[in-house]
Amino acid sequence: MLPDSKVPTAQDLYTAMLRGGAVPAAIVGVVALVVFTVLDGALGASGSLLATAIVLVFSASTLVLLRRMVGVDPRVVFLAALIGYFTKVMLLGAFLLLFRDADWLSPIAFAITAIAVSLAGTAGEIVAFTRTKTLIYDEPAGPGSA
């Protein structure tokens, strides 16, 4: 049995996932910024920066929402996660449509960066989740308790 100070909480899990997703997503965003700045100049840079910012905000908002739902029925949390994911995908699609004819950014840079940063962030969240020790049952209170 783990001492009480070593038992990870659900808050710790979401914090680890937030950090685990934000770091690789930001790294991919910086790489995309450099690549698209070289390829498209200021248009590529603005498209890449906007996409990175939008994806990071959307990803963080979903994890913050889930973190606030600690202690709620897992089915409700799962439903909220699905709704959050669906909303992120729909909003990213809306941004792609909204900015497809923008003359101040490269829509290709925006689209590719959004996809790459989303994939990197999701992969980072999954890795962080698998590395976090979470109990799948409640520890017994002590010896002799049933």
Pick 126 or 66 by higher pLDDT. Answer: 126
- DSSP, collapsed to helix, strand or coil, labels residue 111 as helix
The pLDDT, as a whole number, for residue 77 is 84
Dihedral of CA atoms 141, 142, 145, 146 in degrees, nearest 10, equals 60
Q: How far apart are CA 63 and CA 127, in angstroms?
A: 15
Do the Cβ atoms of 117 and 32 come closer than 8 Å? Answer: yes
The pLDDT, as a whole number, for residue 2 is 46
* Residue 54 confidence (pLDDT) above 90: yes
| Per-residue model confidence as pLDDT tens digits over 59-117 | 888 888 888 887 888 898 889 888 888 888 888 788 878 877 888 999 899 989 999 99
* Residue 134 confidence (pLDDT) above 90: no
Helices and strands (H, E) in the chain, number of each type: 4, 0
Per the listing, tokens 């989303």 go with: 118
> Which two structure tokens, joined as six digits, stand for 23?
């770091």
> Which two structure tokens, joined as six digits, stand for 50?
């906007």
In the chain, where are the structural domains located?
Answer: 8-130
| Per-residue model confidence as pLDDT tens digits over 25-40 | 999 999 999 999 999 9
* Residue 42 confidence (pLDDT) above 60: yes
Do the Cβ atoms of 28 and 117 come closer than 8 Å? Answer: yes
